[in-house]
Amino acid sequence: MKDYDNIILWLDYYNKGLSRNRGRKIAKSLAIYDPLLSELIEAVNSLGYDIPKDQINDSARYPRRPHIKSAYIMISKNNIIKNNIIKRIAEKMIQNRLKHKNK
């Protein structure tokens, strides 16, 4: 059953190694190679969203790539445009990865 109160954010949306046809939702300049669920959660939390444990699925399979395990999180919709939040999370993931790399 479809959940209309939440936005689902798949890891594949941010994977630079995937084409848009295979699941990437953002420009390659905003994507990162092999994003981790922990990076996605960190980026979402730093934007001020709280993610309960039951809103995280680390063993799901993205429908366009059912042979590979992926993961997703769900955040409450609250008048958010999905494309905008995807872009903001991608920018935050890049910042966080650069910050961790420079340590």
Q: Is 65 a domain residue?
A: yes
pLDDT given for residue 78 in this prediction: 84
pLDDT given for residue 50 in this prediction: 87
Q: Is 96 a domain residue?
A: yes
- Domain residues for the domain of 92 are 6-101
E strand residue ranges, 1-103 = 6-10, 56-57, 72-76
Per run of 10 residues, the mean pLDDT along the chain (length 103 residues) is 82 95 94 95 93 92 89 90 95 92 75
Q: Is 1 a domain residue?
A: no
CATH number at residue 58: 3.30.56.30
Q: CA 31, CA 100: separation in Å to the nearest integer? A: 16
pLDDT given for residue 101 in this prediction: 80
The total number of structural domains in the chain stands at 1
Q: CA 81, CA 78: separation in Å to the nearest integer? A: 9
